[in-house]
Structure 1
């Protein structure tokens, strides 16, 4: 049965965030899980390694398996949600999340923990894209959609910010399993918020096209290979054949996926829809932000700890400008969008991310103040583009394709973030002599690191700038179409 509140929501779009508070609480809990999960678990990896006698590679897969499954399956589950019901798929994913999290209490080997993380990755792929698609559906006004998305993302970013600190305190008094068991009450809150606050999809909001199984397999394979390749580049180096084989497989899979979607009668992801100016520009801006943000975070962490010798705790403090802007900057998104409009807000914020990375690449060696400036610029740009570009993508799609659109934006961010780390790691491996973790670098190694970090940052800046330029061109094309 559909709840009375959900029936009201279905009959009348919400006129304010307060009208939809039950639904927004549930959707915020979904995003909180995604942001909190890996950040809180990373703190526990040394403890998990000792308790489960896990190797370094096995520990990497504790987090990596989740990320690969999550990123690889989002498109497939997004397509299913648009066919069988966004709310239905999300509720099923939340049940899986709760059960998988409870299973953590019975884990006794690292293999079992990896299996749990795979199940949680599946749950995340079922729920995360739906949080944007369902929040978009709650409102008819774009301003309310932006405010709702800002609220949901702010809750998640607070979880991301407090996760490591909270995890450290929990580990001081409780076993590491508690860090994953915390997902159980989050899943329960999300389940009832979505169940009571959002109506089931009506047939008019869905489509019944047959599922493109071949497209789903090719798309999933391409994304999985694209997500595994960066880890291999970082761990094995550019001189190994495995990462290049993975990267080549990802490119081949992407080409085959595109050809399949062009020829399929009922494509999983219609290229004509992706070509819409709002969709293609939004994806370009999200991709640019993902590429730049991942590269900057990786480079800053290495510079603070390995080049300058800061302790992990001090390095975490050094990243605070980024954290503060990400969490507090949500209050500025609404006024900024009202002032410049959704289209301008998207490209201006994406350009801010690129400019911040350029500041780091050009000036970071001259002192921490320039790193702080870069972190603030990138965080401010990412905070806005993460909301606005996602809303724009959904605005450019038919109502019965919004979930796969949300999945596509998340996938673009995941893949380009991995690419940013892979490019950075490859350049460092080519330029820096010896292992990066070698203590007491020589003057030559310090110089090599500076050259490598500058080269990597400016390379990513150029790539991200090209994506932003493409996005701006597409938005101009949209204005020309509107004028016509």
Structure 2
């Protein structure tokens, strides 16, 4: 009896093994499956739905403007709410907010089965935008905090992004095949099993939010309102420039109001006792450089994709299917390029990889602006260079931003990365569309162009490509100068990071 008691006492006195962070990707398999499913939803959603827009228009008697809102409302709500909901997640718990968002995603997707009007579909898409804003920033933050070692963080982020980019690549093709034998609602109902997989993986693989983890400062409601207004208007303005044209006062009013809201937001955050976004964090070299690189890559990818799509079909007369094949260099590099990120970082480090990726983006734009009109080979090279740079920057810049933030600000930091990407995507399309609209006269969609129209289109493509090159180069140059500041290394290694 005494021996048994002594043995029991010895076991009680022995230190218990605490479960630390995963030592490999395999150990975090359930969590990574859930986080990959979240990113898959974000990438797959709009790409797979675009194929069904003509069918939706016929069945719901929707005009072109209404169809634009079917896709546009998702992006506006998603981009507009990311910052506010990211800050909320840092306060109440990242895992908790993500799980609630996944439930909302599943419910909104199920509601698609009962949609009978275009207005109802727009409401469903808005709800899905809210769900995306609750889940997407948290996926990067949770993936980063899941591991303690930067190499595992990069490998995890690469894996998650590869899954999402694969969804982006196969989305249009899969959507077209589904529409051959099933109603268009199936394309949104597919989000239900994706949300369920994500919910199960995150609930099983991500530890519950600790009481000491969330940021405890009160929510800055005024800052959230001003920030959301500024982002929503910044996302709407590029669309208005493309649709209404630069001669219309509406896009200029939206842009001016966005600037005013942004100025008021900055003033509010500088004076608030508990700001939504601590602007001092943005001054940290790793954070500001990472955001600059992300902005350059998103600007380039969106602007180049817009220009090349028009060039292949309108200037060179390729069919939509042929033009889709023409974009394959971008798709292949985005998916396959993930295998090169790890070796690149091993050789040159995180900061060096970010600089090289951003430089590839600028070079790709320059190749297109200067040589793209002379043949598809130059277009393919430009697509590959920009895609390679985007692939590296998408992983490394986000990781650097996370490295530069305190542990209780990572979700709002991830939301900031995604918001910068959304806004600069819109700007890239707006710049390209505005230059084309200014230089190209007549009906751009006519089957035959005059010699003058063709010459003007070539001039517009060159000017738009070089304008994007200059903007991206300015962002990259500023990002490199920020990354080289003496405080960058200290920021990455300071306590709590």
1:192-231 matches, within 5 Å, as 192-231=200-239
Given candidates 30, 34, 41, the residue that maps to 1:33 is 41
Offset at 1:32?
A: 0.3
1:475 aligned to 2:487? no
2:384 aligned partner = 376
Show CA shifts across 1:104-158 (max 9, x none): 0000000000000000000000000000000011100000000000000000000
Give SS of 2:473's match.
Answer: helix
Offset at 1:479?
A: 6.2
For residues 323 and 79 of structure 1, the distance between their equivalents in structure 2, rounded to whole angstroms, comes to 33
1:396 aligned partner = 404
2:5 aligned partner = none
Offset at 1:478?
A: 3.8
Give SS of 1:238's match.
Answer: coil
1:288 aligned partner = 296
Given candidates 168, 177, 190, the residue that maps to 1:160 is 168
2:61 aligned partner = 53
Show CA shifts across 1:173-222 (max 9, x none): 00000000000000000000000110112122211101000100000000
* Contact 1:9-1:138 at 8 Å conserved across structures: no
* Contact 1:25-1:190 at 8 Å conserved across structures: yes
1:3 aligned partner = none
For residues 381 and 201 of structure 1, the distance between their equivalents in structure 2, rounded to whole angstroms, comes to 35
Given candidates 99, 103, 108, the residue that maps to 1:95 is 103
1:106 aligned partner = 114
1:118 aligned to 2:126? yes
For residues 152 and 358 of structure 1, the distance between their equivalents in structure 2, rounded to whole angstroms, comes to 30
1:171 aligned partner = 179
1:130 aligned to 2:138? yes
Give SS of 1:13's match.
Answer: coil
The aligned length equals 477
Offset at 1:255?
A: 1.0
1:9–1:474 Cα change, 3 Å: farther
Offset at 1:254?
A: 1.0
1:178–1:359 Cα change, 3 Å: same
Offset at 1:434?
A: 1.6
Given candidates 430, 438, 460, the residue that maps to 2:438 is 430
For residues 430 and 157 of structure 1, the distance between their equivalents in structure 2, rounded to whole angstroms, comes to 34
Offset at 1:248?
A: 0.8
For residues 415 and 490 of structure 2, the distance between their equivalents in structure 1, rounded to whole angstroms, comes to 27
Gaps of 5+ in 2: 1-15, 492-497
Offset at 1:253?
A: 1.1
* Contact 2:30-2:204 at 8 Å conserved across structures: yes
Offset at 1:347?
A: 1.2
1:419 aligned partner = 427
Show CA shifts across 1:299-343 (max 9, x none): 000000000010000000000010000011111111111110001
For residues 436 and 409 of structure 2, the distance between their equivalents in structure 1, rounded to whole angstroms, comes to 41
Give SS of 2:28's match.
Answer: helix
Give SS of 1:203's match.
Answer: coil
Runs of at least 4 residues of structure 1 off by over 4 A?
A: 479-483
* Contact 2:284-2:487 at 8 Å conserved across structures: no
1:458 aligned partner = 466
1:82 aligned to 2:87? no
For residues 204 and 97 of structure 2, the distance between their equivalents in structure 1, rounded to whole angstroms, comes to 15
Offset at 1:481?
A: 6.2
Give SS of 2:485's match.
Answer: helix
Which of the pair has more CA radius of gyration? 2
Show CA shifts across 1:288-307 (max 9, x none): 01111111000000000000
TM-score normalised according to structure 2 size: 0.94
2:240 aligned partner = 232
